[in-house]
Chain A
């Protein structure tokens, strides 16, 4: 599990029908959310953005872990509260905003999810692979909001970032 977390998750080219895309995305992203990372890589420019790199040594990490457990149990309110508490301890953590965005998308509030995902983007300007994932998340939120053009634009940004990385 920790190996999943300590690297950003590469997203396969999505060939699933559009409405299912975000489901796939959420499933993919969530697979890494619940585990507690163990590796300790210091954050450098362009280095992976993970819960571990951002929150190493912070008590926010324990709350993030509990948020993951709560979500597994379907306790969304609890997960939200844990994540927000973590955020007061680590207000500039892109990862925590990403987690909140995923939660809100799952809860059926794509508008909020987009805002939070963009906040996550703003806080992690350096890692292209991670940013590409976040743009996919924005795309999923926009698709939910019946904004196909916006979703396409976000996906194009994700593609561009991945190409730049390759």
Chain B
């Protein structure tokens, strides 16, 4: 109004204002437009470079994945039908007539047809194939099928964990050609019908969405194209700011300009956020399939694929585990839309919309079932791989875990603790199972509640080992075969040891009684403390420390007399480490939890091969092992025979620490070494001994694994000899109180008690030929 008044006043003023108007005129607008255009062009160029740079160099955050050992199937392998089915269930094989697709199987009595899923391994791996396995008498009787005429087949390794140290994004990358076409059809039908026609933004889609929303009186459809959604997920933060909205559209267009629809689709399918598992973000359809259905994406059925698509609208709102009804309704919408678009036949639509959601319960995933073992893998990996590699490069870690051994060990510990501790949480425990010849850690249990993350007792609970030390004391003696044999008499008598601090130490036997002079063997078999200390002081505690070091103990151990009765703290894993050479007759093999590391394409990157070195001579190693067998045949470990077959040659040792704080049993067969610890976290008395607290667990673990006997063939230079009770004269088989011992040749006394076959009798030796040969060798 004021302006109008002014203009009407004078022409002079009009002139001025005209001049002013000229100043606002075309030229200015032109310039401004040019500047703006230049700015816009620069902005676009920047956005363009940004989009291309990030898309081209985008590194999928692929955490390292850890797998159990692949299950080997071959005739003769010990495997019950039950265990076979348990494995298939764990690996989520579907039961389906004729086993038509990978990941399915069918049964016909004792014969199973399994359609395996292929996998990559350092040796190339296996193709998916249909195999026929016949079981019987707890063994695989026959195996056929597959590509070659091979007698060996493998099931793919079960994934048991992933390692993502730096970030919390997790995904399984699936290339587009392995994505089920139906999933793509459903995705496009529900999220972006014009995907193949638009250039990044779809006005038609936007209009359609607005119309639909109006009709429904609420937000039922979003107008964003898949490309826009990808831009949002890929480059932009999740907050809904105007600035973000403004760049989203041009970026979507630019993306479409440079990349094919397939590339965009593949990126979308692998990027999309599908849910949350604690602090782990579930990204991509590949991991989504694993997370919700426990199966590879390729194996999902239409209703399951539809559930994944349904989640896109709101992974938390449509969480099929928490909001079942809502998720199912949305899933059926996806199925209907797919049906409307012709992606699903009438019959299939009717069929699949009636199916349940069929998601696996969250706790059921083997992915988090073995946290203690994964912890071990992580520690071993950390030595060789920096965290950023483990978090991003998609490494595949093939571990040594034997799922059946792990489950058997968990249940053995749980059941026994339930028996002796009721439902209370007073006692806890740990089990380590190792294949001694290759050093493979087959199982690691660190709690009676093994699914719980937390204190790893197997690796971190350093506890007094008690009498577990005694085989090392005996071995130290047997390394001096001119002085000691298993028949040498050792005084099991009270002994008082002066200590460095001026005090004295007077160890007692467990029973409170002393047994006088007893063969060295009996000191171990009955775990006599006084006999052990007498022997150990004779040898010198420093010599026992040397033996422990020879066996691979790395911890610094002071040569105090009290170590002779095991006043040394060790973790169950450490015990397994130094019992391992005892189990193999003197070959130390580092314990490993990893065998192979493959890159994300499945090509071999690194191997952790078997290493071994001879740390004990065959003679003393064999004698110690034999003595430890007698612990189970007639000593403190004989309770094991209640569960283990009488003819299985196994060896071991009980351990109980002061005030019954720790109960241990460590022992081995020809192919398994197991260490069991039971005690209380607060180091209070557990009121159990090695024989009552730990041995039953050990026996149960060993009984549930396929076992081979320890060898009973003495090595060269060792012979079985009948000895008189004096320990310094040979005797004969049927003579009074004569006992047979394996002995090093140099230990065999020249004197005889004159009974039976006198002289250096080699009745049970290896025969005349070997004896003769020995003369020349």
A-side residues, CB < 8 A to B, are 45, 58-59, 62-63, 66, 70, 77-82, 84-85, 87-89, 91-92, 100, 104, 111-112, 114-116, 118-119, 122, 125, 160, 164
Contacts and interface: CB of A to CB of B under 8 A. Distances in A.
B596 interface: yes
B75 A78 contact: no
B707 to A, nearest CB: 12
Nearest to A114: B613
A81 B596 contact: yes
Nearest to A66: B123
B150 A62 contact: yes
Interface residues of B, number: 41
B609 A89 contact: no
A89 B153 CA distance: 13
Given A81-B121, A81-B123, A81-B596, A122 B585 contact: yes
B670 A59 contact: no
B569 to A, nearest CB: 30
A77 B606 CA distance: 8
Contacts of A58: 76
The listed residue with most B CB atoms (<10 A of its CB), out of A70, A80, A100, A118, is A80
Given A77-B604, A119-B587, A164-B777, A63 B152 contact: yes
23 contacts: A45-B770, A59-B74, A77-B604, A77-B607, A80-B609, A81-B122, A81-B123, A81-B595, A82-B123, A84-B610, A87-B438, A89-B72, A92-B711, A100-B609, A100-B610, A115-B611, A118-B614, A119-B587, A119-B614, A125-B715, A160-B777, A164-B773, A164-B776
A58 B150 CA distance: 11
A78 B776 contact: no
A115 B152 CA distance: 29
Given A62-B151, A89-B72, A122-B585, 20 more contacts: A45-B770, A59-B74, A59-B75, A62-B152, A70-B123, A77-B604, A78-B604, A81-B607, A85-B72, A87-B437, A91-B438, A92-B670, A92-B711, A112-B611, A115-B587, A115-B611, A115-B614, A116-B612, A122-B586, A122-B587
B754 interface: no
Contacts of B278: none
Nearest to B585: A122
B185 to A, nearest CB: 40
B435 A88 contact: yes
A130 to B, nearest CB: 14
Contacts of B106: none
Contacts of A63: 152
B111 interface: no
Contacts of A59: 74-76, 150-152
Given A62-B151, A119-B587, A122-B618, A87 B610 contact: yes
Interface in B561-595: 585-587, 595
Contacts of A92: 437, 670, 711
B670 A91 contact: yes
A106 to B, nearest CB: 12
A91 B671 contact: yes
A108 B587 CA distance: 21
Contact of B74 (A82, A89, A122): A89
Nearest to A107: B609
Given A62-B151, A77-B596, A88 B72 contact: yes
A91 B708 CA distance: 10
Nearest to B611: A112
B777 A85 contact: no
The listed residue with most B CB atoms (<10 A of its CB), out of A79, A100, A122, is A122
Contacts of A88: 72, 435, 438, 440
Contacts of A79: 123
A33 B229 CA distance: 58
Nearest to B604: A77
Nearest to B588: A115
Contacts of B356: none
B181 interface: no
A85 B123 contact: yes
Contacts of A80: 122, 607, 609
Contacts of B74: 59, 89
B175 interface: no
Nearest to B713: A125
Top 8 nearest A-B pairs by Cβ distance?
Answer: A59-B74, A115-B613, A81-B123, A77-B604, A81-B122, A78-B123, A115-B612, A59-B151
A84 B609 CA distance: 8
Interface in B421-442: 435, 437-438, 440
Interface string B255-281: 000000000000000000000000000
B716 interface: yes
A165 B310 CA distance: 78
B597 to A, nearest CB: 10
A122 B438 CA distance: 15
B124 interface: yes
Contacts of B612: 112, 115-116, 119
A62 B440 CA distance: 22
B151 to A, nearest CB: 4
Contacts of B776: 164
Contacts of A70: 123
Nearest to B777: A164
A52 B122 CA distance: 25
Interface in B604-627: 604, 607, 609-614, 618
B737 to A, nearest CB: 32
Nearest to A104: B609
Interface in B522-569: none
Contacts of A87: 437-438, 610
B609 A112 contact: yes
